[in-house]
Structure 1
Amino acid sequence: MKLLIRNLNRATTEDQLKTLFLSYGSIQSCTLVLDKVTGASKGFGFVEMPDNGEAKKAMKSLNGTALDESIIRVKKAEDKASKE
């Protein structure tokens, strides 16, 4: 399951995000979305977890918690194809 993590502190790193989610299970991928010009974080990212049960537990537990002085929001990411 692919999770969208929003409201990240711009200083948060992929390693910090990965470490946070690893406590809930295995991670397939972890990506921060970066500005193409500056290379700075845009304040959101994605974590993919192969086990849906672990992903749901992480989403429920981490949504609304503090990370680097920001209250993060975690939800299931929508597929690009379903938006069109």
Structure 2
Amino acid sequence: MKILVRNLERTVTEAELLKLFQQYGTVETCQLVLDAETGKSKGFAFVEMPHGREAVKAIKGLNTLRLHGTGIRVKQAEDKPQA
């Protein structure tokens, strides 16, 4: 299941996110979205977990968690409509 993590402080690292989500199970990918020009975080990330049950627990457990002083938002990512 692909998970969207929003409202991240720009100082949060992929390693920190990975560690948070690994508490709930296997993480296939963890990708912090970076600005192409500056290389800095855009404040959101995508995490992919193979097992739906673990992903749901991660979403429930981490949504609104305060990370670096800011409450993060965690939900299932929605597929982009094909153009």
The answer, yes or no, to whether TM exceeds 0.5 is yes
Aligned equivalents of 2:16, 2:61: Cα separation in 1: 16
Higher helix share: 1
Q: Which residue of 2 aligns with 1:13?
A: 13
Q: Secondary structure at the match of 2:24?
A: coil
Q: Map 1:65-76 to 2 at 5 A.
A: 65-76=65-76
- Give 1:6-45 correspondences, 5 Å limit: 6-45=6-45
Query: How many residues get paired?
Result: 83
What is the percent sequence identity of the aligned residues?
Answer: 55
1:81 to partner: Cα distance: 3.2
Stretches of structure 2 that go unaligned for 5 or more consecutive residues are: none
Q: Shift of the alpha carbon at 1:41? A: 0.1
Matched letter for residue 48 of structure 1 = E
Unpaired stretches in structure 1, ≥5 consecutive residues: none
Post-superposition CA distance 1:22-78 (Å, at most 9, x none): 000000000000000000000000000000000000001110111111100000001
Cα distance in structure 2, aligned partners of 1:42 and 1:70? 15
4+ residue runs over 4 A deviation: none
Output the CA distance in 1 between the equivalents of 2:79 and 2:42: 20
